[in-house]
A and B are shown apart, each in its own frame.
Chain A
Amino acid sequence: MQIPDAEALCRELADQIRPHVTPDTALVGIRTGGLWLAERLHAELGLSTPLGAIDVSFYRDDYAAKGLHANPQRTDIPCKVEGAPIVLVDDVLYTGRTTRAALNELFDYGRPSRVELAVLVDRGGRELPVAARFCALTLSAPLAASQVLELERTADGTLSLRLTDA
Protein backbone atom coordinates (compact mmCIF):
# COMPACT_ATOMS: atom_id res chain seq x y z
CA MET A 1 0.00 0.00 0.00
CA GLN A 2 1.19 3.50 -0.87
CA ILE A 3 1.51 5.47 2.40
CA PRO A 4 -0.67 8.58 2.06
CA ASP A 5 0.76 12.03 2.73
CA ALA A 6 -0.54 13.03 6.18
CA GLU A 7 0.11 16.74 5.62
CA ALA A 8 -2.05 16.78 2.48
CA LEU A 9 -4.77 14.76 4.23
CA CYS A 10 -4.69 17.21 7.11
CA ARG A 11 -5.38 20.14 4.77
CA GLU A 12 -8.13 18.14 3.09
CA LEU A 13 -9.76 17.42 6.46
CA ALA A 14 -9.62 21.10 7.45
CA ASP A 15 -11.32 22.00 4.15
CA GLN A 16 -14.09 19.49 4.86
CA ILE A 17 -14.75 20.83 8.35
CA ARG A 18 -14.43 24.57 7.59
CA PRO A 19 -17.93 25.16 6.09
CA HIS A 20 -19.53 23.58 9.17
CA VAL A 21 -17.68 25.59 11.82
CA THR A 22 -19.85 27.80 14.04
CA PRO A 23 -18.61 30.30 16.66
CA ASP A 24 -19.13 27.78 19.46
CA THR A 25 -17.67 24.72 17.69
CA ALA A 26 -15.11 23.05 19.98
CA LEU A 27 -12.44 20.53 18.98
CA VAL A 28 -11.50 17.64 21.25
CA GLY A 29 -8.52 15.48 20.22
CA ILE A 30 -8.00 11.90 21.34
CA ARG A 31 -4.48 11.39 22.68
CA THR A 32 -1.94 11.04 21.19
CA GLY A 33 -2.24 11.12 17.38
CA GLY A 34 -5.73 12.61 17.40
CA LEU A 35 -4.55 15.44 19.64
CA TRP A 36 -1.68 16.30 17.26
CA LEU A 37 -4.18 16.42 14.44
CA ALA A 38 -6.64 18.48 16.50
CA GLU A 39 -3.92 21.00 17.36
CA ARG A 40 -3.26 21.44 13.65
CA LEU A 41 -6.95 21.72 12.74
CA HIS A 42 -7.54 24.16 15.59
CA ALA A 43 -4.89 26.49 14.15
CA GLU A 44 -5.93 26.04 10.51
CA LEU A 45 -9.60 26.69 11.27
CA GLY A 46 -8.74 29.62 13.55
CA LEU A 47 -11.12 28.50 16.31
CA SER A 48 -11.59 30.75 19.31
CA THR A 49 -12.79 28.01 21.69
CA PRO A 50 -9.97 26.31 23.64
CA LEU A 51 -8.78 22.91 22.40
CA GLY A 52 -9.70 19.83 24.45
CA ALA A 53 -7.61 16.70 24.95
CA ILE A 54 -9.05 13.33 25.89
CA ASP A 55 -7.20 10.22 27.10
CA VAL A 56 -9.46 7.19 26.96
CA SER A 57 -7.30 4.87 29.12
CA PHE A 58 -9.83 4.88 31.97
CA TYR A 59 -12.76 4.15 29.64
CA ARG A 60 -11.32 1.36 27.52
CA ASP A 61 -13.44 -1.78 27.22
CA ASP A 62 -10.42 -4.09 27.44
CA TYR A 63 -9.37 -2.96 30.96
CA ALA A 64 -10.68 -6.17 32.55
CA ALA A 65 -8.58 -8.26 30.15
CA LYS A 66 -5.48 -6.09 29.82
CA GLY A 67 -5.40 -3.88 32.92
CA LEU A 68 -3.88 -0.42 33.00
CA HIS A 69 -0.80 -1.09 30.93
CA ALA A 70 -0.50 2.05 28.89
CA ASN A 71 0.76 5.21 30.45
CA PRO A 72 -2.40 7.26 30.98
CA GLN A 73 -2.25 11.01 30.65
CA ARG A 74 -4.54 13.82 31.73
CA THR A 75 -7.85 14.42 30.08
CA ASP A 76 -8.11 18.16 29.81
CA ILE A 77 -11.30 19.71 28.42
CA PRO A 78 -11.17 23.47 28.99
CA CYS A 79 -13.96 24.16 26.48
CA LYS A 80 -17.63 24.07 27.48
CA VAL A 81 -19.17 20.67 26.72
CA GLU A 82 -22.72 21.30 27.94
CA GLY A 83 -24.78 22.40 24.95
CA ALA A 84 -21.77 22.80 22.65
CA PRO A 85 -21.23 21.34 19.15
CA ILE A 86 -18.13 19.17 19.50
CA VAL A 87 -15.88 17.77 16.81
CA LEU A 88 -14.08 14.71 18.14
CA VAL A 89 -10.76 14.22 16.34
CA ASP A 90 -8.78 11.00 15.92
CA ASP A 91 -6.00 10.06 13.54
CA VAL A 92 -7.12 6.60 12.39
CA LEU A 93 -10.63 5.12 12.64
CA TYR A 94 -10.50 1.34 13.06
CA THR A 95 -12.77 -0.77 15.33
CA GLY A 96 -14.67 2.24 16.71
CA ARG A 97 -13.91 1.20 20.31
CA THR A 98 -11.73 4.26 20.99
CA THR A 99 -14.54 6.50 19.71
CA ARG A 100 -17.02 4.73 21.99
CA ALA A 101 -14.70 5.25 24.99
CA ALA A 102 -14.15 8.91 24.09
CA LEU A 103 -17.91 9.54 23.78
CA ASN A 104 -18.52 8.05 27.22
CA GLU A 105 -15.79 10.19 28.72
CA LEU A 106 -17.00 13.33 26.94
CA PHE A 107 -20.49 12.92 28.36
CA ASP A 108 -19.08 12.93 31.89
CA TYR A 109 -18.29 16.59 31.25
CA GLY A 110 -21.77 17.52 30.11
CA ARG A 111 -24.34 17.00 27.33
CA PRO A 112 -23.07 18.35 24.01
CA SER A 113 -25.61 19.66 21.49
CA ARG A 114 -23.98 17.37 18.91
CA VAL A 115 -20.81 15.35 18.47
CA GLU A 116 -19.21 14.74 15.09
CA LEU A 117 -16.22 12.59 14.34
CA ALA A 118 -13.29 13.78 12.20
CA VAL A 119 -10.52 11.37 11.21
CA LEU A 120 -7.57 11.45 8.88
CA VAL A 121 -7.92 7.85 7.68
CA ASP A 122 -10.69 5.25 7.90
CA ARG A 123 -8.86 1.93 7.74
CA GLY A 124 -12.02 -0.24 7.90
CA GLY A 125 -12.56 -3.13 10.32
CA ARG A 126 -15.34 -1.61 12.42
CA GLU A 127 -16.67 -3.61 15.37
CA LEU A 128 -19.16 -0.97 16.52
CA PRO A 129 -21.72 1.20 14.70
CA VAL A 130 -19.46 4.25 14.38
CA ALA A 131 -18.98 6.46 11.31
CA ALA A 132 -16.97 9.61 10.72
CA ARG A 133 -18.73 12.76 9.46
CA PHE A 134 -15.38 14.15 8.22
CA CYS A 135 -12.78 11.79 6.78
CA ALA A 136 -9.85 12.73 4.54
CA LEU A 137 -9.22 9.23 3.23
CA THR A 138 -11.15 5.94 3.27
CA LEU A 139 -8.97 2.96 2.35
CA SER A 140 -10.43 1.00 -0.55
CA ALA A 141 -9.70 -2.31 1.19
CA PRO A 142 -9.57 -2.73 4.99
CA LEU A 143 -6.12 -3.32 6.51
CA ALA A 144 -5.35 -6.72 8.04
CA ALA A 145 -5.65 -6.97 11.82
CA SER A 146 -1.89 -7.53 12.11
CA GLN A 147 -1.17 -4.14 10.52
CA VAL A 148 -0.82 -0.96 12.58
CA LEU A 149 -1.43 2.41 10.95
CA GLU A 150 -0.56 5.37 13.15
CA LEU A 151 0.24 9.05 12.99
CA GLU A 152 3.73 10.24 13.86
CA ARG A 153 5.06 13.72 14.52
CA THR A 154 8.64 14.85 14.06
CA ALA A 155 10.37 17.40 16.30
CA ASP A 156 9.52 20.22 13.86
CA GLY A 157 5.82 19.27 13.98
CA THR A 158 5.54 17.54 10.59
CA LEU A 159 2.87 14.83 10.55
CA SER A 160 3.32 11.52 8.75
CA LEU A 161 1.58 8.14 8.68
CA ARG A 162 3.42 4.93 9.43
CA LEU A 163 2.31 1.41 8.57
CA THR A 164 3.90 -1.46 10.48
CA ASP A 165 3.29 -5.19 10.62
CA ALA A 166 2.95 -6.45 14.17
Chain B
Amino acid sequence: MRNPQLNKHGELQHLLTLDGLPREILIKILDIAAPFTEVAEREVKKLPLLRGKSIFNLFFENSTRTRTTFEIAAKRLSADVVNLNVSTSSTAKGESLLDTVDNLCAMQADMFVVRHASSGAPVLIAQHLQACGHDDIHVVNAGDGRHAHPTQGLLDMYTIRHCKGDFTRLSVAIVGDVLHSRVARSQIAALKTLGVPDLRVIGPKTLLPTAVEHMGVRVFHDMREGLRDVDVVMMLRLQNERMNGALLPTAQEYYKMWGLTAEKLALARPDAIVMHPGPMNRGVEIDSSVADGAQAVILKQVTYGIAVRMAVMSMLAGN
Protein backbone atom coordinates (compact mmCIF):
# COMPACT_ATOMS: atom_id res chain seq x y z
CA MET B 1 0.00 0.00 0.00
CA ARG B 2 1.20 3.46 -0.84
CA ASN B 3 2.07 5.82 1.99
CA PRO B 4 -1.13 7.95 2.09
CA GLN B 5 0.94 11.11 2.44
CA LEU B 6 2.87 10.63 -0.80
CA ASN B 7 1.79 10.88 -4.43
CA LYS B 8 2.69 8.33 -7.08
CA HIS B 9 6.04 10.04 -7.65
CA GLY B 10 6.92 9.63 -3.96
CA GLU B 11 6.48 13.37 -3.31
CA LEU B 12 4.59 14.87 -0.40
CA GLN B 13 0.89 15.12 -1.31
CA HIS B 14 -0.54 15.62 2.19
CA LEU B 15 1.10 16.18 5.56
CA LEU B 16 -0.78 13.92 7.96
CA THR B 17 1.79 12.56 10.42
CA LEU B 18 5.54 12.43 10.97
CA ASP B 19 5.31 8.73 11.79
CA GLY B 20 6.57 6.95 8.69
CA LEU B 21 7.45 10.15 6.84
CA PRO B 22 10.66 9.39 4.90
CA ARG B 23 13.74 10.95 6.47
CA GLU B 24 14.75 12.76 3.27
CA ILE B 25 11.37 14.49 3.04
CA LEU B 26 11.55 15.53 6.69
CA ILE B 27 15.04 16.98 6.14
CA LYS B 28 13.91 18.69 2.94
CA ILE B 29 11.09 20.48 4.79
CA LEU B 30 13.60 21.74 7.39
CA ASP B 31 16.02 22.82 4.64
CA ILE B 32 13.32 24.67 2.71
CA ALA B 33 12.04 26.37 5.88
CA ALA B 34 15.41 28.07 6.45
CA PRO B 35 15.18 30.68 3.64
CA PHE B 36 11.55 31.39 4.58
CA THR B 37 12.65 32.72 7.99
CA GLU B 38 14.18 35.70 6.21
CA VAL B 39 10.87 36.90 4.71
CA ALA B 40 9.79 38.32 8.09
CA GLU B 41 12.67 40.82 7.95
CA ARG B 42 11.63 42.37 4.62
CA GLU B 43 9.79 45.53 3.78
CA VAL B 44 7.17 43.47 1.95
CA LYS B 45 6.58 40.26 3.91
CA LYS B 46 5.10 38.35 1.03
CA LEU B 47 6.19 35.81 -1.56
CA PRO B 48 4.20 35.12 -4.74
CA LEU B 49 4.31 31.29 -4.57
CA LEU B 50 0.67 30.56 -3.70
CA ARG B 51 -0.88 33.49 -5.55
CA GLY B 52 -4.39 32.55 -6.64
CA LYS B 53 -4.61 29.48 -4.36
CA SER B 54 -7.44 29.11 -1.87
CA ILE B 55 -6.59 27.62 1.50
CA PHE B 56 -9.34 26.70 3.94
CA ASN B 57 -8.54 26.58 7.64
CA LEU B 58 -10.94 23.96 8.96
CA PHE B 59 -10.68 24.14 12.72
CA PHE B 60 -13.18 21.84 14.40
CA GLU B 61 -11.36 22.37 17.68
CA ASN B 62 -10.22 25.61 19.26
CA SER B 63 -6.76 26.90 18.62
CA THR B 64 -5.33 30.38 18.56
CA ARG B 65 -1.63 29.99 17.91
CA THR B 66 -1.75 27.19 15.35
CA ARG B 67 -4.59 28.73 13.36
CA THR B 68 -2.97 32.16 13.42
CA THR B 69 0.46 30.91 12.34
CA PHE B 70 -1.09 28.86 9.53
CA GLU B 71 -3.02 31.94 8.44
CA ILE B 72 0.07 34.17 8.52
CA ALA B 73 2.11 31.55 6.68
CA ALA B 74 -0.50 31.21 3.93
CA LYS B 75 -0.87 34.98 3.62
CA ARG B 76 2.90 35.48 3.38
CA LEU B 77 2.77 33.04 0.46
CA SER B 78 0.05 35.23 -1.13
CA ALA B 79 -2.69 32.60 -0.82
CA ASP B 80 -6.31 33.50 -0.14
CA VAL B 81 -7.17 32.17 3.29
CA VAL B 82 -10.64 31.37 4.50
CA ASN B 83 -11.09 30.60 8.18
CA LEU B 84 -14.10 28.46 8.90
CA ASN B 85 -15.48 29.19 12.30
CA VAL B 86 -16.92 25.87 13.30
CA SER B 87 -19.31 27.13 15.95
CA THR B 88 -21.21 29.03 13.23
CA SER B 89 -20.67 26.50 10.45
CA SER B 90 -22.97 23.91 9.00
CA THR B 91 -21.39 21.24 11.19
CA ALA B 92 -23.31 22.78 14.05
CA LYS B 93 -26.42 22.31 11.91
CA GLY B 94 -25.66 18.63 11.44
CA GLU B 95 -23.61 18.53 8.23
CA SER B 96 -21.10 15.69 8.11
CA LEU B 97 -17.36 16.31 7.86
CA LEU B 98 -17.12 14.94 4.33
CA ASP B 99 -20.14 16.94 3.13
CA THR B 100 -18.44 20.06 4.41
CA VAL B 101 -15.32 19.07 2.48
CA ASP B 102 -17.28 18.36 -0.71
CA ASN B 103 -18.88 21.79 -0.53
CA LEU B 104 -15.53 23.49 -0.13
CA CYS B 105 -14.14 21.46 -3.04
CA ALA B 106 -17.01 22.84 -5.11
CA MET B 107 -15.67 26.29 -4.17
CA GLN B 108 -12.32 25.36 -5.78
CA ALA B 109 -10.32 24.79 -2.62
CA ASP B 110 -6.63 24.03 -3.16
CA MET B 111 -5.69 23.07 0.37
CA PHE B 112 -7.31 22.18 3.68
CA VAL B 113 -5.64 22.82 7.00
CA VAL B 114 -7.52 20.59 9.42
CA ARG B 115 -7.71 20.54 13.20
CA HIS B 116 -10.09 17.98 14.68
CA ALA B 117 -10.71 16.44 18.08
CA SER B 118 -10.96 12.98 16.53
CA SER B 119 -7.79 11.13 15.61
CA GLY B 120 -7.77 10.30 11.92
CA ALA B 121 -10.07 13.05 10.63
CA PRO B 122 -7.40 14.53 8.27
CA VAL B 123 -6.58 11.06 6.91
CA LEU B 124 -10.27 10.48 6.30
CA ILE B 125 -10.45 13.73 4.32
CA ALA B 126 -7.30 12.86 2.34
CA GLN B 127 -8.70 9.43 1.44
CA HIS B 128 -12.04 10.94 0.49
CA LEU B 129 -10.33 13.48 -1.81
CA GLN B 130 -8.39 10.70 -3.48
CA ALA B 131 -11.53 8.60 -3.93
CA CYS B 132 -13.25 11.60 -5.56
CA GLY B 133 -10.32 12.13 -7.92
CA HIS B 134 -9.21 15.42 -6.34
CA ASP B 135 -5.50 14.66 -6.66
CA ASP B 136 -4.67 18.36 -6.78
CA ILE B 137 -6.12 19.20 -3.36
CA HIS B 138 -3.80 18.94 -0.37
CA VAL B 139 -4.47 18.30 3.30
CA VAL B 140 -2.34 19.49 6.20
CA ASN B 141 -3.02 18.01 9.61
CA ALA B 142 -3.03 20.83 12.16
CA GLY B 143 -3.61 18.42 15.04
CA ASP B 144 -5.99 15.46 15.28
CA GLY B 145 -7.10 13.99 18.60
CA ARG B 146 -4.24 12.24 20.36
CA HIS B 147 -2.73 11.13 17.07
CA ALA B 148 -0.43 13.73 15.52
CA HIS B 149 0.49 17.39 15.21
CA PRO B 150 3.09 17.18 12.44
CA THR B 151 3.78 20.89 11.88
CA GLN B 152 4.40 21.35 15.60
CA GLY B 153 6.81 18.40 15.50
CA LEU B 154 8.54 19.91 12.47
CA LEU B 155 8.93 23.36 13.99
CA ASP B 156 10.33 21.74 17.12
CA MET B 157 12.87 19.89 14.96
CA TYR B 158 13.72 23.12 13.16
CA THR B 159 14.28 24.86 16.50
CA ILE B 160 16.48 22.04 17.82
CA ARG B 161 18.52 21.94 14.62
CA HIS B 162 18.93 25.71 14.69
CA CYS B 163 20.11 25.71 18.32
CA LYS B 164 21.98 22.40 18.51
CA GLY B 165 22.90 21.25 15.01
CA ASP B 166 23.56 17.53 14.78
CA PHE B 167 20.70 15.34 16.07
CA THR B 168 22.84 12.21 16.35
CA ARG B 169 24.70 13.47 19.42
CA LEU B 170 21.76 14.72 21.45
CA SER B 171 20.01 13.73 24.65
CA VAL B 172 16.40 14.88 24.54
CA ALA B 173 13.78 14.65 27.30
CA ILE B 174 10.04 15.02 26.76
CA VAL B 175 8.32 15.85 30.03
CA GLY B 176 4.70 15.63 31.12
CA ASP B 177 1.42 14.32 29.80
CA VAL B 178 2.63 12.10 26.97
CA LEU B 179 -0.52 9.98 27.16
CA HIS B 180 -2.89 12.65 25.85
CA SER B 181 -0.36 14.49 23.70
CA ARG B 182 -0.38 14.43 19.90
CA VAL B 183 2.57 16.82 20.08
CA ALA B 184 4.65 14.24 21.95
CA ARG B 185 3.83 11.54 19.39
CA SER B 186 4.95 13.74 16.52
CA GLN B 187 8.08 14.77 18.42
CA ILE B 188 9.03 11.18 19.21
CA ALA B 189 8.49 10.05 15.60
CA ALA B 190 10.61 12.90 14.21
CA LEU B 191 13.39 12.60 16.79
CA LYS B 192 13.67 8.86 16.10
CA THR B 193 13.73 9.46 12.33
CA LEU B 194 16.48 12.06 12.74
CA GLY B 195 18.59 9.64 14.75
CA VAL B 196 18.54 11.05 18.30
CA PRO B 197 20.40 8.37 20.27
CA ASP B 198 19.10 9.22 23.75
CA LEU B 199 15.41 10.00 23.87
CA ARG B 200 13.70 10.07 27.24
CA VAL B 201 10.14 10.56 28.41
CA ILE B 202 9.53 11.79 31.91
CA GLY B 203 6.17 11.77 33.68
CA PRO B 204 3.90 10.07 36.17
CA LYS B 205 2.83 6.54 35.28
CA THR B 206 -0.77 7.69 34.89
CA LEU B 207 0.22 10.13 32.10
CA LEU B 208 2.53 7.86 30.10
CA PRO B 209 1.07 5.42 27.56
CA THR B 210 1.42 1.79 28.55
CA ALA B 211 4.44 0.15 26.88
CA VAL B 212 5.70 3.60 25.82
CA GLU B 213 9.23 2.12 25.81
CA HIS B 214 8.29 0.34 22.58
CA MET B 215 8.47 3.74 20.89
CA GLY B 216 12.23 3.57 21.44
CA VAL B 217 12.39 5.87 24.44
CA ARG B 218 13.80 5.54 27.95
CA VAL B 219 11.20 6.05 30.64
CA PHE B 220 11.81 8.04 33.81
CA HIS B 221 9.38 8.66 36.62
CA ASP B 222 11.88 10.71 38.60
CA MET B 223 12.27 14.08 36.86
CA ARG B 224 15.63 14.86 38.46
CA GLU B 225 17.08 11.59 37.25
CA GLY B 226 15.56 11.99 33.78
CA LEU B 227 16.87 15.52 33.20
CA ARG B 228 20.48 14.70 34.04
CA ASP B 229 22.81 15.92 31.25
CA VAL B 230 20.14 16.36 28.58
CA ASP B 231 20.66 18.89 25.75
CA VAL B 232 16.98 19.59 25.10
CA VAL B 233 14.02 19.72 27.50
CA MET B 234 10.65 19.56 25.73
CA MET B 235 7.84 20.39 28.12
CA LEU B 236 4.26 19.40 27.37
CA ARG B 237 1.17 21.28 28.36
CA LEU B 238 -0.86 19.82 31.19
CA GLN B 239 -4.45 20.16 30.11
CA ASN B 240 -6.59 21.54 32.89
CA GLU B 241 -9.31 18.99 32.27
CA ARG B 242 -6.90 16.23 33.34
CA MET B 243 -6.96 17.67 36.80
CA ASN B 244 -10.56 16.66 37.29
CA GLY B 245 -9.99 12.97 36.70
CA ALA B 246 -8.20 10.46 38.89
CA LEU B 247 -4.96 10.68 36.89
CA LEU B 248 -3.40 13.37 39.01
CA PRO B 249 -3.37 14.79 42.49
CA THR B 250 -3.50 18.61 42.68
CA ALA B 251 -1.85 21.15 40.39
CA GLN B 252 0.43 22.14 43.26
CA GLU B 253 1.57 18.58 43.72
CA TYR B 254 2.11 18.14 39.97
CA TYR B 255 4.26 21.27 39.96
CA LYS B 256 6.31 19.94 42.85
CA MET B 257 6.98 16.62 41.12
CA TRP B 258 6.96 17.46 37.37
CA GLY B 259 7.12 21.21 37.05
CA LEU B 260 10.30 22.54 35.46
CA THR B 261 12.05 24.83 37.94
CA ALA B 262 15.48 26.46 37.72
CA GLU B 263 16.71 24.01 40.32
CA LYS B 264 15.65 20.96 38.26
CA LEU B 265 16.87 22.52 34.99
CA ALA B 266 20.32 22.90 36.56
CA LEU B 267 20.66 19.10 36.32
CA ALA B 268 20.54 19.30 32.50
CA ARG B 269 23.57 20.42 30.52
CA PRO B 270 24.41 24.10 31.13
CA ASP B 271 23.61 24.95 27.49
CA ALA B 272 20.37 22.94 27.40
CA ILE B 273 17.40 24.59 25.72
CA VAL B 274 13.85 24.59 27.08
CA MET B 275 10.92 24.19 24.69
CA HIS B 276 7.14 24.33 25.14
CA PRO B 277 4.46 24.05 22.44
CA GLY B 278 2.14 26.48 24.26
CA PRO B 279 -0.11 27.56 25.72
CA MET B 280 1.88 27.40 28.95
CA ASN B 281 0.48 26.89 32.42
CA ARG B 282 2.94 28.86 34.50
CA GLY B 283 3.34 27.39 37.94
CA VAL B 284 1.96 24.02 36.82
CA GLU B 285 4.33 22.43 34.29
CA ILE B 286 6.83 25.26 34.10
CA ASP B 287 8.07 27.96 36.46
CA SER B 288 8.00 31.55 35.23
CA SER B 289 11.71 32.03 35.88
CA VAL B 290 12.44 29.16 33.45
CA ALA B 291 9.79 30.13 30.89
CA ASP B 292 11.25 33.65 30.68
CA GLY B 293 14.85 32.56 31.27
CA ALA B 294 17.87 32.59 28.99
CA GLN B 295 17.58 28.89 28.12
CA ALA B 296 13.96 29.11 26.92
CA VAL B 297 13.45 29.12 23.14
CA ILE B 298 9.65 29.08 23.39
CA LEU B 299 9.00 32.27 21.42
CA LYS B 300 11.54 31.24 18.77
CA GLN B 301 9.43 28.13 18.27
CA VAL B 302 6.46 30.34 17.40
CA THR B 303 8.48 32.39 14.90
CA TYR B 304 10.02 29.34 13.25
CA GLY B 305 6.55 27.79 13.13
CA ILE B 306 5.55 30.31 10.47
CA ALA B 307 8.57 29.49 8.25
CA VAL B 308 8.04 25.74 8.67
CA ARG B 309 4.36 26.04 7.73
CA MET B 310 5.31 28.15 4.71
CA ALA B 311 7.73 25.41 3.68
CA VAL B 312 5.10 22.67 4.07
CA MET B 313 2.41 24.55 2.15
CA SER B 314 4.71 25.59 -0.69
CA MET B 315 6.07 22.05 -1.03
CA LEU B 316 2.57 20.56 -1.11
CA ALA B 317 1.15 23.08 -3.57
CA GLY B 318 4.10 22.50 -5.91
CA ASN B 319 3.76 18.70 -5.92
The answer to the question of A67 belonging to the interface, with a C-beta cut-off of 8 Å to chain B, is: yes
- A109 and B35 contact, CB distance less than 8 A: no
Tell whether, in the assembled complex, residue B43 and residue A67 are in contact, meaning their CB atoms are under 8 Å apart.
no
- Closest chain-B Cβ to A5's Cβ sits at a distance in Å of 33
What are the 5 A-B residue pairs with the smallest beta carbon separation, nearest first?
Answer: A67-B318, A108-B44, A58-B47, A74-B35, A68-B318
Enumerate 12 A-B pairs (CB-CB under 8 Å) in ascending A order. A55-B35, A58-B314, A64-B318, A66-B318, A67-B315, A68-B49, A72-B35, A73-B34, A74-B34, A76-B38, A108-B42, A109-B42
How many A-B pairs with Cβ below 8 Å?
A: 48
Chain A, residues 50-68, CB within 8 Å of chain B (1/0): the string is 0000010111000110111
Residues of B within 8 A of A67 (CB): 11, 315, 317-319
Q: Mark A98-126, 1 if CB is under 8 A from B, else 0.
A: 00000010011110000000000000000
Measured in the bound complex, the distance between the Cα atoms of B63 and A105 in whole Å is 33
B37-53 interface with A by 8 A CB criterion: 38, 42-44, 46-49
Do A108 and B38 form a contact, CB below 8 Å, given A58-B49, A66-B318, A67-B319? no
Contact check, A109 vs B43: say whether CB atoms are below 8 A apart.
Answer: yes
Could you tell me the distance between the alpha carbons of A64 and B35 in the complex, rounded to whole angstroms? Answer: 19
Question: Could you list 15 further interchain pairs (A-B, Cβ under 8 angstroms) beyond the known A68-B49, A74-B34, A76-B38?
Answer: A58-B49, A59-B48, A63-B49, A67-B11, A68-B32, A71-B31, A73-B35, A74-B38, A81-B43, A82-B43, A104-B48, A108-B42, A108-B43, A108-B46, A109-B43
Question: Is A59 within 8 A of B47, CB to CB?
Answer: yes
* A75 is an interface residue with CB less than 8 A from chain B: yes
Interface residues of B (CB under 8 A from A): 11, 31-32, 34-35, 38, 42-44, 46-49, 314-315, 317-319
A80 to B: closest C-beta gap in Å: 11
Chain A contact residue count (CB 8 A cutoff): 23
Query: Which residues from chain A contact B44 at a C-beta distance below 8 Å?
Result: 107-109
Main secondary structure of the interface of A (DSSP, over half): loop
List chain B residues, Cβ under 8 A from A64: 318
CB distance from A117 to the nearest CB of B (A): 21
A81 to B43, CA, bound (A): 10
In the complex, are the beta carbons of A57 and B46 less than 8 A apart?
no
| In the complex, per-residue mask of A16-31: 1 if CB is within 8 Å of any chain B CB, else 0 | 0000000000000000
A111 to B29, CA, bound (A): 32
Q: Looking at the assembled complex, report how far the CB atom of B50 sits from the nearest CB atom of chain A, in whole angstroms.
A: 9
Query: Which chain B residues lie closer than 8 Å to A82 at the CB level?
Result: 43
Give the CA-CA distance A72 to B36 in the complex, in Å.
Answer: 9
A contact residues around B48 at 8 Å (CB): 58-59, 104
Q: When the two chains form the complex, which single residue of B34, B38, B43, B318 contacts A63, counting CB atoms closer than 8 Å?
A: B318
B98 to chain A, nearest CB (A): 28
How far apart are B74's CB and chain A's nearest CB, in angstroms?
14
Set of chain B residues within 8 Å of A55, measured between Cβ atoms? 35
- Which of A67, A73, A74, A81: most chain B Cβ within 10 A? A67
What CA separation (Å) do A69 and B317 show in the bound complex?
A: 12
In the complex, A59 Cα to B31 Cα: how many Å?
18
